[in-house]
Amino acid sequence: MLQGRIRTLVRQWQLQSMVIPGIIWMFIFCYIPMFWLIIAFMDYSIAKPMLSSPFVGFKHFEDFLTDDRFWRSIRNTLGMSSIKLVLGFGIPIIFALLLNEIRSVRLKRTVQTISYLPHFIAWTIFGGIMLNWLGEGGVINQLSIGLGIHDREVLFNSEPKYFWWITFFSDVLKETGWSAIIYIAAIAGIDPALYEAAELDGANRWQRMWHITIQSIRPTIAILFILAVAGILGSNFDQIFMLKNNMNMKMAESLDLYIYNMGLVSGRYSFSTAVLFARSIVALWLLLMANYASKKLSGDGIF
Amino acid sequence: MVKRNKLRRIGGFDIVNGMLMVAVCFMTLYPMWFVLVNSFNAPEHAVLGTVNWLPKALSLDSYSVVFNNDNLMHGFFITAMRTLFGTVVHVLFTAIVAYGLSKTNLIGRKFYMKFALITMLFSGGLIPTFLLMTKLGLYNNFLVFIIPAMYSFFDMVIFISFFRTIPDSLEESAKVDGASDYGVLFRIVLPNSMAVIATISLFSAVYHWNDYYQGVIYIRSQDLLPMQTMLYKIIAENSMSFMQQQAMAQFGARLPGNSIKFASMMVATVPILLFYPFIQRYLVKGVMIGAIKG
């Protein structure tokens, strides 16, 4: 038995030699950093060898839990994620539903193609446009003065109170079309016979949309919603990093940015690793809960 | 027949909906239009602020500054190199690993898959990864763009599921003819996987082209900075010193920063805009495969 397996293994040496470099890569680039999370419990200094720093227990955890700036970053992360979840989650669904009602195939294709485009534009570019629009003499100021909302120019991106909304709206502008793809695909998979039958029964457009389209894509909606809830501690770093500045930092500093600022800007490696560690644990728990919820709902896990 | 006609009739809803979709297209395209017109705006007008619809006077001065700026052009070169090598290495490496793992009789397969899956659930994150890169000598090294982006679990799963759809008989007949596993992979399997290779290459290329964050974290020397990182510095940190000097030398005081910014943004985006119409169906296909798997 064992001998047979060894013989197979030898016969498979080529296949094994394809897989093993991948395993080594994962070991180096995923497992070693995981293992190095241990510096959260040390006073790590970059000058010393990796594991020779003194252990300090939960000191850094106590430090960040009593740091107001940490709690501020939690508030900002949850604030931005909640806006995205509550106001933003439905937008791609509505877009997909409305797009599905377009009768002309050519118009539908064109709208689809165009609406995906901004997803592929870098945040440096898109953020640059936003910064210009929000600044002095920018499009937003022209609009708000023209519509009489403000009577003089506002530097929107320097006022912290606008920041969450700036991230929300710029994200909607950039990602709505792309986020709708999954729903568009799900809608395309619905059996046309269902619509024909409903039509014969005299269902109107709204009834068909509600009873057939939405009911059919409900599993997709459920899974994406669960995933969105599970990702609530994350933020779009590329976006926030581009739009943040010293003036709006108190509303802009998400957990990711806090870790970056504490670790790479201030050089407090152990401290920010402690934050990372705690966040990874919570994120893992959220993911496992999401998987559990998805199994309960649809009988199928996410992974 | 009557029913059919009734269904085809265009009602008020269709008109409103159609206009709404056109409005969506407008809002999507307008930001790019905005960059385009402002990049062509003549310097003497650009001082007065940005224009919304059309340039007040067409001018190529900003582009002339951008294309004559050695720093920015070098950044363009670095970006092109990392996109080229990064994509080739990523696709090859991920495909080879995936091919091995697609064989159900592979000894240790279950273990390998679990080993890979765990990396999806838990990760070291920013600080340990940063320390690892410095210890590996990848800090301020061009390879930091390539090696850490060599492999992706998600793309591997897409490859595996695609390789499984290739009929075994194809591979078997090549084996009978004496081909090795590598021979089968490179001569039979990969040539039959062009659609999925195109999709994954494009996603990888777009990532490499658009990424600015790796450059912010890992690169110190000016001559290794990718163009997007330079743009980040120009736009978000407003540090245009290295461009301004040259612009001053070239045009004197009349060239304002704004239109140079827009011209650089345009130069950084044009490749994506040019290829987008041709590649978008592959990109969409990629999401579909991913959605079914994920």
In order of start, what are the domains of chain B with their CATH numbers? 60-293 (1.10.3720.10)
Which CATH number belongs to the domain containing residue A252 in this structure?
1.10.3720.10
B140 lies within 8 A of chain A by CB: no
CA distance B231 to chain A (A): 7
Q: What is the mean pLDDT of chain A?
A: 92
Q: What are phi and psi of A236, to 5 degrees?
A: -80, 95
A302/A231 Cα distance (integer angstroms): 14
User: Is residue A177 in a domain?
Assistant: no
User: Do A25 and B150 lie within an 8 Å CB cutoff?
Assistant: yes
d(CA B207, CA B230): 16
Q: How far apart are the C-alpha atoms of A169 and A133, rounded to whole Å? A: 13
**Partner B contacted by A273 (CB < 8 A):** yes
Q: Say if residue B235 is exposed, middle or buried (CB neighbours under 10 Å; 0-12, 13-18, 19+).
A: buried
In chain A, which residues have their Cβ closer than 8 Å to the Cβ of B121?
284, 287, 303
- Are B232 and A26 a contacting pair at CB < 8 A? no
Identify the pLDDT of residue B1: 38
Q: Minimal Cα–Cα distance from B27 to chain A, Å?
A: 7
Q: Does the structure show a pLDDT above 90 at B24?
A: yes
Residue A282: pLDDT band with limits 50, 70, 90: very high
Q: What is the pLDDT of residue B291?
A: 61
Comparing B285 with A37, the larger pLDDT belongs to A37
Count of structural domains within chain A = 1
Are residues A157 and A243 in contact, defined by beta-carbon separation less than 8 angstroms? Answer: yes
To the nearest whole Å, the CA of B225 is away from the closest chain A CA by 14
pLDDT at B53: 85
Contact A276 B128 (CB under 8 A): yes
State how far the alpha carbon of B104 is from the alpha carbons of B26, B110, B160, B163, in Å.
50, 9, 11, 12
Q: Is the CB of residue B231 less than 8 Å from the CB of residue A124?
A: yes
- For the record, the structure tokens of A61 come out as 């955890």
A37 vs B21, B128, B182: nearest CB: B128
Asked whether residue A155 carries a pLDDT value surpassing 80, the answer given is yes
Structural domain harbouring A250: 46-88+233-297
For B124, the closest of A34, A121, A182 (CB atoms) is: A34
Residue A82, in any domain of the structure: yes
Confidence of residue B245 (pLDDT cuts 50, 70, 90): low
Considering the domain boundaries, does residue A147 fall inside one? no
Percent of chain B with pLDDT strictly greater than 70: 88
- If one compares B287 and B219, the residue with the highest pLDDT of the two is B219
Q: Are A268 and A129 in contact (CB under 8 A)?
A: no
Q: Is residue A73 part of a domain?
A: yes
Per-residue pLDDT tens over the stretch B86-144: 999 999 999 999 999 999 999 999 999 999 999 988 889 999 999 999 999 999 999 99
Q: Is residue A275 part of a domain?
A: yes
B52 interfaces chain A, CB cutoff of 8 Å: yes
**B253–chain A Cβ distance below 8 A for any pair:** no
B167 interfacial to chain A (CB closer than 8 Å): no
**How close, in Å, is residue A49 to chain B by CA atoms?**
10
pLDDT of residue A3: 85
Per-residue pLDDT band for A137 (boundaries 50, 70, 90) equals confident
User: Residue B254: what pLDDT?
Assistant: 56
* pLDDT greater than 50 at residue A297: yes
- A22/B100 CB distance under 8 A: yes
Chain A residues in contact with B151 by the CB 8 A cut-off are: 22, 25-26, 29
Instruction: Return residues 59-118 of A near B (CB < 8 Å).
Output: 95, 98-99, 101-103, 107, 110-111, 113-118
Provide the terminal-to-terminal Cα distance of chain A, rounded to the nearest Å.
33
Decide if A14 and B180 are in contact by the 8 Å CB cutoff. yes
Cβ(A270)–Cβ(A43) below 8 Å: yes
Chain B: closest CA distance from residue A82 (Å): 23
Contact call for B32 and A30, based on CB within 8 A: no
Considering only the beta carbons, identify the residue of A35, A122, A176 that sits closest to B212.
A122
Residues 53 through 92 of chain B touching chain A, CB cutoff 8 Å: none
Among candidates B20, B120, B135 on the partner chain, residue whose Cβ is nearest the Cβ of A98: B20
CB contact, 8 Å: A162 with chain B? no
- Is residue A129 one of the residues assigned to a domain? no
pLDDT score at B290? 63
Using alpha carbons, list the distances in angstroms from residue A133 to A121, A156, B27, B30, B269: 17, 9, 13, 12, 19
- Domain presence at residue A76: yes
A237 contacts on B by Cβ (under 8 Å): 213
Span B234-249, average pLDDT = 71
| Distance of alpha carbon B87 from alpha carbon A96, whole angstroms | 32
Q: What is the pLDDT of residues B195-240, one digit of tens each?
A: 899 989 999 999 999 999 999 999 999 999 999 999 998 888 776 6
Task: Report CB contact under 8 Å: A124, B93.
Answer: no
pLDDT score at B2 = 42
Cβ distance A121 to B272 less than 8 Å, yes or no, reads yes
Residue A243 lies in a domain: yes
**pTM of this prediction?**
0.92
Averaged pLDDT for residues A86-115? 93
| Contacting residues for A227 by C-beta, under 8 A, at least 6 apart | A290, A302
B130 touches chain A (CB under 8 A): yes
Given a cut of 90, is residue B82 above it in pLDDT? yes
Res B294: pLDDT: 44
Q: Which residue of A has its CA nearest to B237?
A: A245
Question: Does A203 touch chain B if contact means CB atoms closer than 8 Å?
Answer: no
CB A269 within 8 A of CB B127: yes
Write out the two tokens for B81: 């190199």
Cβ within 8 Å of A, B 89-108: 93-94, 96-97, 99-101, 103, 105-108
**Please, which pLDDT band fits residue B184 given cuts at 50, 70 and 90?**
very high
CA distance B252 to chain A (A): 24
Taking CB atoms and an 8 Å limit, are A185 and B10 in contact across chains?
no
